A and B are shown apart, each in its own frame.
Chain A
């Protein structure tokens, strides 16, 4: 297999100017050239890059809306934006960030790139379907952008009926159509992953030798295939109601608008796990590889992913405690929501237990992993506040909710996405990112994020409702803090975009395994060849089977393990 040039570059991967690595002569990036070779590619790695480009575009767009929202909220008066414009901006921020950035982020970029390599396959099971999913995603994005350009949508990303179906002024149908279409790209990605993980594993790659990232994306795929069709048909029904007056949620026909909420959250609550389960998978990889220890309680972490996927479908009613849902239904949903915190807690405890006596690296990916664990814990615990029926009544539709889910989605999913992107960047681009800038950005993101969203917990608890462009003066101090934090966060997020692009050309060439990590993706060259491996790998070692550092310096990191497992 691949020759390991530097068995131990663990502590300062990019800072060894004495060691010059060579890129392989032919790899997936230079195997062929021209726009056709990208737009008609069926290589899962290139499709991952295509997704990376698309979602970065949507991320920047959604970020611009966020900036304008925070600018408006810096003063109590509604002076920058009109109320109607503000409504459109927070709606579009939500739609873009949820459906066009977070949901595809880790699965479609890192998942597409890594899963076949991690399991030792040449590609995903259905490469053409994989490419089709990217086109479908962009077609959905086209309709969503059409809705935005054509005057915007103002329903909130939740599209609650009857406002969305009967009263909202326009563009609900194209926006819903965009999400409907983009949903199928998510379904196809999930379908591809399930089949790939079942049918394409290399000889010896048993289920319990799989990296935990693969387990997490398998669990995610379950949600993608079971949940996404439901929101598709639900939004289709809203569209039909607007266009053809077939009102399934129309009270004039005896319809129930609350049924929409049930169907919407049946997907959209599990959708949170579409965002955060892959993030957990990334963090499992980072924690294990950056502490050089097998993850504590591998099977528990693996099954916790599956448990979250399954039980995530049973808690949607906690979004509807004040929507006229029955009290007993509310109690059951509340109880189940509390129960769902158990598998999440298992993961958090197992990550922290893994740190114990590990040789911890403080490189950029690990900084993001630390950030994830802390912020996800805060986001998760405040989630329990919201799952308690009594307290939820007090903070429903306030900034407390906003802060909570941003801690999960930004503090959790986005941090892990960035951590993963840095960790696998040498594999993806064949070059290292600048470590100093990486650490600095991670720090800025962490500080900026907390300054942005922690004050919002306090605002929400003090009663500031969400979705208004003006507010009483007493809330100004905390809002200014939040807006200031947002500007810091924006700087921290702009840095990686710049230096990652810079590093594609000027970064030091990465070795096959710059982290001294364990996993099949580190046994092939950086960047990998089009078919991933020169020879189909045969797996004879357990996941995360690290050798002691001294030993690995002698025998090499990834020499297949001849020790008894």
Chain B
């Protein structure tokens, strides 16, 4: 670590270097190695996540190929406006997350806090809208199972669409909830001044996770909400 390069920021954080030193785990040679390991670990974790969602995407591909008309019909029962709003919400939250990572890199603790809080708020907005959507589906009797109500010839296959809809968006929402939890922890840690320009890997890695969850939604939205417009 060269104190000269980061000299500007040491003004804001007189004890920044010590904090960075204490953040070095015993089994690493230096912070650089620790950061490298953490980053690679996060990317590998995201690969496993892709495979985790991949099973469901595979099921989606198979059934959509088999029942394109039923999927188009069922897709019309989703609320494109709410889904669209949620898409925008998540894109903006990715921006605020990226800004939070940038802020901590340059040692701006206050703006890091603000951007993290904004990301948290946007994540909660997403989950709120998702809850409203689920509630509508419940009221419309679109929950797969005995009480499923769907008019027209596609009764069975439309259930498959909604099965996939609930499984995939549900799994995504679960990841969002975990993300919200991570943000809460991050905010507390930034508040207590745990991070510095030398040591901020947790913020960066949480950012990676957050972007990943957003990207999953970028695939879910067109596949589930827009497929009706595309196919019919």
Q: Please report A residues at the B interface, Cβ cutoff 8 Å.
A: 121-127, 187, 191-192, 194-196, 198-200, 225-230, 232-234, 237, 240, 244-248, 252-256, 259, 262-263, 531, 536
Contacts and interface: CB of A to CB of B under 8 A. Distances in A.
Contacts of B66: 254
Interface string B164-193: 101100000000000000000000000000
Interface in B133-191: 144-146, 156-157, 159-160, 163-164, 166-167
B41, B53, B54: which has the most chain A beta carbons within 10 Å?
Answer: B41
Contacts of B58: 259, 262-263
Interface stretch (B32-40, B107-115, B206-214): B32-40
Contacts of B37: 125-126, 195-196, 198-200
Given A121-B27, A254-B63, A230 B40 contact: no
Given A199-B37, A200-B37, A229-B49, A234 B145 contact: no
Contacts of B146: 245
9 contacts: A123-B27, A194-B44, A196-B37, A199-B33, A227-B51, A237-B56, A237-B59, A253-B157, A253-B163
A195 B40 CA distance: 6
A248 B157 CA distance: 11
A254 B51 contact: no
A256 B64 CA distance: 12
Nearest to B145: A245
Given A200-B33, A229-B49, A246-B163, A253 B44 contact: no
Contacts of A240: 167
Interface string B89-119: 0000000000000000000000000000000
Given A198-B40, A259-B59, A246 B27 contact: no
Contacts of B29: 536
B52 A230 contact: yes
Nearest to A532: B27
Nearest to B157: A254
A192 B37 CA distance: 9
A168 to B, nearest CB: 19
A226 B51 contact: yes
Nearest to A233: B55
A241 to B, nearest CB: 9
Contacts of B25: 127
B201 to A, nearest CB: 12
Nearest to B32: A199
B70 A237 contact: no
Contact of A247 (B26, B41, B144): B144
Contacts of A252: 156, 159
B5 interface: no
A262 B29 CA distance: 44
Given A229-B52, A230-B54, A195 B44 contact: yes
Contacts of A194: 40, 44
A225 B27 contact: no
A544 B29 CA distance: 27
B45 interface: yes
Contact of A254 (B33, B145, B160): B160
A471 B66 CA distance: 42
Nearest to A202: B29
A126 B66 CA distance: 44
A233 B166 contact: no
Contacts of B132: none
A233 B52 contact: yes
Contacts of A254: 63, 66-67, 70, 156-157, 159-160
B11 interface: no
B47 interface: yes
A261 to B, nearest CB: 12
B41 A233 contact: no
Interface string B6-42: 0000000000000000000111010001001100110
Contacts of B41: 125-126, 191-192, 195
Q: 9 tightest CB-CB pairs across the interface, nearest first?
A: A229-B52, A123-B27, A233-B55, A229-B51, A122-B27, A199-B37, A254-B157, A125-B37, A253-B159
A121 B26 CA distance: 11
A122 B26 contact: yes
A232 B156 CA distance: 26
A229 B44 CA distance: 12
A259 B156 CA distance: 17
A255 B52 contact: no
A247 B62 contact: no
B229 interface: no
Nearest to A129: B41
A31 to B, nearest CB: 13
Nearest to A231: B55
Nearest to A234: B55
A199 B40 CA distance: 9
A237 B144 contact: no
B47 A253 contact: no
Contacts of A227: 51
